[in-house]
């Protein structure tokens, strides 16, 4: 951990005890606490202090969802011919509370459509998508700090791409596949270092993978399914794996159901194998989106196209066939969920 003057954290308390108190402070109080003094602000915003909290079990995972405003339950909802606006909803599975974080300053009326989220060292990273006014692909990168509750703009993505795989490992965000402005499927991959705000190119995928999905398992970034330019919509059963620091991709076969879209529905079963949240129960078979949170999974979806979307919690120890528990959702948080991720804060 960085060198902090622990003896000045809390007057009249030994430094180690003051650090213990600060470590156990709930994240919801961090913004207020960071205004107390410079020392507290420096500590609470430190990456090393975040790692210290993780080490001692003083963090927990919340779901961050790209969700339609105003209770719109369909991706094509709202007025005819017009896509709904999207914001980021937070669900805390511990106390079952819902909240919405501040709008990105550049997009006050709604996020870029089909933008991607990743969790990186307790912060939320938002990338890409389509401009909600022009529908043109954007290269924007934004990082949200839960302590300050503010967004900062990061270095743009190296190129415009849509429907790419994304995942975070060890302070870096990996992106791969998707398609370019001309709808050509891509093999290219890049990694974003959040701390240095820099991009580096990775080795290319073994094959083109449009509309693929990213998932992180231990120290590996998995790119699941997708299809090539000349196989539009014919989703592969294969995937590719990048081991952090290896510099190479490994092809893996038979990990996904051929012909089935993996977007937002890829999960990890108790046996470590990939599962589809859409197969969990008929109640979530359409538009399924699952977020793994500590010992439970948050799953949203509907029974059929156009039906109202419902949200469920599944306890992880029950396994992938566990019973779904429907949870109450306030009207203002009942909109269609496009995608999401967890953030450990």
Report phi then psi at 31, rounded to 5: -65, -45
Banded model confidence at residue 322, pLDDT cuts 50, 70, 90: low
Strand partners, 168: 173
DSSP secondary structure letters along 57-118: T---EEEEEEEEGGG--STT-SSTT-PPPEEEEEEETTTTEEEEPPPPTT-TT-PPBT-EEE
Instruction: Give yes or no for a contact between 172 and 192, defined as CB atoms under 8 angstroms apart.
Output: yes
For tokens 């203002």, the residue is 332
Output the pLDDT for position 39.
Answer: 85
User: Mind listing the pLDDT tens digit for each residue in 41-89?
Assistant: 888 888 888 889 998 888 889 999 999 986 666 554 444 456 789 999 9
Helix (H, G, I), strand (E, B) or coil at 342: strand
Banded model confidence at residue 319, pLDDT cuts 50, 70, 90: very low
Flag whether pLDDT at 153 surpasses 70: yes
Output the pLDDT for position 259.
Answer: 95
Output the pLDDT for position 318.
Answer: 45
Higher pLDDT, 155 or 268: 155
CA 191 – CA 245 distance, rounded (Å): 11
Helix axes 15-23, 47-55, angle to 10 degrees: 80
Output the pLDDT for position 187.
Answer: 97
Output the pLDDT for position 80.
Answer: 44
User: Mind listing the pLDDT tens digit for each residue in 159-188?
Assistant: 999 999 999 998 999 999 999 999 999 999
Flag whether pLDDT at 217 surpasses 80: yes
């Amino acid at each position: 951990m960085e060198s902090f003057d622990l003896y000045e954290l809390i007057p009249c308390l030994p430094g180690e005890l003051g650090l213990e108190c600060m470590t156990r402070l709930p994240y919801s109080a961090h913004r207020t606490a960071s205004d107390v003094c410079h020392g507290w602000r420096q500590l609470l915003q430190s990456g090393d202090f975040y790692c210290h909290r993780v080490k001692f079990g003083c963090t927990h995972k919340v779901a961050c969802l790209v969700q339609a405003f105003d209770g719109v339950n369909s991706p094509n909802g709202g007025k005819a011919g017009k896509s709904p606006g999207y914001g980021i909803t937070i669900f805390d599975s511990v106390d079952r509370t819902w909240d919405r974080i501040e709008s990105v300053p550049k997009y006050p009326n709604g996020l870029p459509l089909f933008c991607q989220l990743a969790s990186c060292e307790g912060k939320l990273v938002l990338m890409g998508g389509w401009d909600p006014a022009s529908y043109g692909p954007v290269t924007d990168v934004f990082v949200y700090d839960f302590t300050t509750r503010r967004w900062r703009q990061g270095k743009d993505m190296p190129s415009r791409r849509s429907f790419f795989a994304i995942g975070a490992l060890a302070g870096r965000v990996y992106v791969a596949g998707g398609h370019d402005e001309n709808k050509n499927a891509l093999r290219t991959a890049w990694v974003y270092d959040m701390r240095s705000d820099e991009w580096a190119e990775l080795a290319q995928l073994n094959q083109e993978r449009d509309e693929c999905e990213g998932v992180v398992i231990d120290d590996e970034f998995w790119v699941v399914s997708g299809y090539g330019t000349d196989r539009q919509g014919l989703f592969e059963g294969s995937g590719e794996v990048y081991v952090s620091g290896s510099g190479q991709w490994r092809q893996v076969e038979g990990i996904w159901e051929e012909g089935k879209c993996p977007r937002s529905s890829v999960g990890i079963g108790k046996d470590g194998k990939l599962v589809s949240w859409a197969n969990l129960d008929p109640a979530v078979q359409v538009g399924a989106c699952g977020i793994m949170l500590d010992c439970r999974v948050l799953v949203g979806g509907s029974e059929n196209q156009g039906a109202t979307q419902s949200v469920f919690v599944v306890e992880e120890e029950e396994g992938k066939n566990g019973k779904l528990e429907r949870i109450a959702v306030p009207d203002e948080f009942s909109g269609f969920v496009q995608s999401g991720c967890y953030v450990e804060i």
